[in-house]
Chain A
Amino acid sequence: MNTSNGSNPVLDGIWFTPRLVTPDAVSSSAAGIPPTAKVVQVGAVTNDANDWITLPLLADVPNGHEITILCSAGTNFELRTPASSNSKINNVDSDGTQEYLCTDTEIIKVIKISNTVGWMAHAYSAIGAVVAAVIPD
């Protein structure tokens, strides 16, 4: 690394520690993705496939922030934005009434576009196929 304490380090690579989150039927710290997490590993759902995990507040992360979610709950679950935030995923308000479906074993990438537009999410199957765009419902 050329400039270990500068703002533009040159690195051979970076390891991100996966953050374990647990889908639940209520928003909680255990089900929330913190703003600092880059890789999320999903534990078994607390109740059923209607349980959810929650993205960080848009205002807490920079534009272009990307999160990789490994869908490893053993069943489907859902992805929401924080309650009452009116924040969107794929142009749909996902703060409670609608959610982004997370299909078991898939890999989801979520990218913040801006505080206004919200998040774009897209997914791959575990064997590398692009999954059709998911419309939260």
Chain B
Amino acid sequence: MANPNKTNPVLNGVWIEPIELTPDDSESDINVIPANIDSVVLDANVNGVNDFVVLPALASVPNGHIITILAGAANCELRTPASSTEEINSENCDGTKEYLITATDIVKVTKIDNTIGWMGASWTKLGAKRTAVVPD
């Protein structure tokens, strides 16, 4: 590693330690993605397929920030923080609409900026790209 304590380290590799979250029907510590987390594994829903996980506030992460979400065995939903009016794929997802996370999919969300919000894209576990998800 050329300069381990500086801003452009050269690494042989990086392991991102995933955190486990639990989709629920209300926002709490168990289903909110912290701003400093890149990889999320979803456990079983508390209630059912309308349970959700919540993205960090846009202002709390840099543009281009990418979060990888590994879906659980059942569908669930992805929201932005309540009352934030923040969008995923150009839809306000702070409560009235949600991005569908299909069971076993891999979802990547990229922050575009504080105004446009997040771009979400999903793949099956076999590597097929899902048709763009329109939150509803």
**Dominant secondary structure at the B interface:** loop
Chain B: residues with Cβ within 8 Å of the partner, total of: 38
In the complex, besides A4-B4, A10-B14, A124-B119, 4 extra interface pairs with C-beta distance below 8 angstroms are A8-B15, A124-B121, A127-B119, A127-B132
Binary flags per residue of A96-110, CB closer than 8 Å to B gives 1, else 0: 000000000101000
Residues of chain A within 8 A (CB-CB) of B19 are 12
Stretch from A15-23, A74-82, A84-92 at the B interface:
A15-23
Closest CB-CB distance, A96 to chain B, in whole Å? 27
Interface, chain A (partner B; CB < 8 A): 4-18, 36, 38-41, 68, 70, 72, 105, 107, 124-130
- By beta carbon, the residue of chain B nearest A34 is B8
Contact A126-B112, Cβ < 8 Å, known A13-B37, A18-B63, A39-B63:
yes
**Dominant secondary structure at the A interface:** loop
- By beta carbon, the residue of chain A nearest B111 is A70
Does the CB pair B119–A126 fall under 8 Å? yes
Does the CB pair A7–B134 fall under 8 Å? no
Contact A68-B64, Cβ < 8 Å, known A12-B37, A127-B119:
yes
Does the CB pair B16–A11 fall under 8 Å? yes
Does the CB pair A13–B39 fall under 8 Å? yes
Residues of chain A within 8 A (CB-CB) of B39 are 13
Does the CB pair B131–A14 fall under 8 Å? no
Does the CB pair B132–A128 fall under 8 Å? yes
Contact A17-B36, Cβ < 8 Å, known A72-B113, A107-B110, A129-B131:
no
The yes or no answer to B11 lying at the interface (CB within 8 A) is yes
Considering residues B13, B63, B129, B133, which has the most beta carbons from chain A within 10 angstroms of its beta carbon?
B63
Does the CB pair A127–B15 fall under 8 Å? no
Q: Identify which of residues 1-42 in chain B touch chain A, using a CB-to-CB cut-off of 8 Å.
A: 1, 4-5, 7-8, 11-17, 19, 36-39
